[in-house]
Structure 1
Amino acid sequence: MPSPTQKALAKVPGPLRPFLIQHRSLVKFLVVGGTCFLLTMVINYGLKLTVCQNKPVVALTIGTALATVVSYLWNKAWSFRSEGSHKEAIPFIVVSAIAVGVNDLPLLASRYVFNLREPHVTHVTQEVSDFLSGMILGTLVAMAFRYWAMKKFVFTSPRADDETTERHTEPPARVG
Structure 2
Amino acid sequence: MSFADATIARLPRSVRPFAERHHELIKFAIVGASTFVVDSAIFYTLKLTILEPKPVTAKIIAGIVAVIASYILNREWSFRDRGGRERHHEALLFFGVSGVGVLLSMAPLWVSSYVLMLRVPMVTLMTENIADFISAYVIGNLLQMAFRFWAFRRFVFPDEFARNPEKALESTLTGGGIAKALEDEFELRNAAPAEAPGKNGTVTPLRRPRRPAPDQLGDSSDPKVSKTS
Residue 103 of structure 2 is matched in structure 1 by 101
> Would the aligned equivalents of 1:103 and 1:142 in 2 still touch at CA under 8 Å?
yes
Residue 33 of structure 2 is matched in structure 1 by 34
Compute the TM-score of the two structures, normalised by the length of structure 2: 0.54
2:26 partner SS: helix
Deviation at 1:42, TM superposition (A): 5.8
1:118 partner SS: coil
Residue 138 of structure 2 is matched in structure 1 by 136
> Would the aligned equivalents of 2:4 and 2:23 in 1 still touch at CA under 8 Å?
no
**Pair 3,138 (structure 1): closer, same or farther in 2 beyond 3 Å:** closer
For 1:142 and 1:122, the matched residues in 2 are separated by 28
Point out where structure 1 has 5 or more consecutive residues left out of the alignment: 168-176
Deviation at 1:73, TM superposition (A): 1.8
For 1:105 and 1:12, the matched residues in 2 are separated by 31
Matches within 5 A, 1:119-130: 119-130=121-132
**Pair 39,150 (structure 1): closer, same or farther in 2 beyond 3 Å:** same
Deviation at 1:70, TM superposition (A): 2.4
**Pair 17,106 (structure 1): closer, same or farther in 2 beyond 3 Å:** closer
Residue 91 of structure 2 is matched in structure 1 by 89
**Which one has a larger percent helix, Structure 1 or Structure 2?**
1
> Would the aligned equivalents of 1:107 and 1:133 in 2 still touch at CA under 8 Å?
yes
Point out where structure 2 has 5 or more consecutive residues left out of the alignment: 172-229
Out of 120, 135, 159, the residue aligned to residue 118 of structure 1 is 120
Cα offsets for 1:62-89 (capped at 9, x unmatched): 8666533322221111100156523211
Residue 173 of structure 1 is matched in structure 2 by none
Does 2:132 match 1:163?
no
What percentage of aligned pairs have identical amino acids?
A: 38
> Would the aligned equivalents of 2:4 and 2:27 in 1 still touch at CA under 8 Å?
no
> In terms of mean alpha carbon deviation, does 128-137 or 113-122 score higher?
113-122
**Pair 147,72 (structure 1): closer, same or farther in 2 beyond 3 Å:** same
Q: Which structure has more RCO (C-alpha within 8 Å, separation ≥ 6)?
A: 1
Q: Which amino acid aligns with 1:90?
A: L
Q: Which amino acid aligns with 2:135?
A: S
How many positions carry a matched residue from both structures? 163
For 1:87 and 1:3, the matched residues in 2 are separated by 30
**Pair 4,151 (structure 1): closer, same or farther in 2 beyond 3 Å:** same
For 2:166 and 2:127, the matched residues in 1 are separated by 48
> Would the aligned equivalents of 1:28 and 1:79 in 2 still touch at CA under 8 Å?
yes
For 1:59 and 1:108, the matched residues in 2 are separated by 22
**Pair 119,15 (structure 1): closer, same or farther in 2 beyond 3 Å:** closer
> In terms of mean alpha carbon deviation, does 136-145 or 41-50 score higher?
41-50
CA RMSD of aligned residues (A): 3.9
Deviation at 1:131, TM superposition (A): 0.5
Cα offsets for 1:137-158 (capped at 9, x unmatched): 0111111111100100001244
Compute the TM-score of the two structures, normalised by the length of structure 1: 0.68
Structure number, greater radius of gyration:
2
Does 2:75 match 1:73?
no
Deviation at 1:114, TM superposition (A): 2.0
> Would the aligned equivalents of 2:67 and 2:95 in 1 still touch at CA under 8 Å?
no
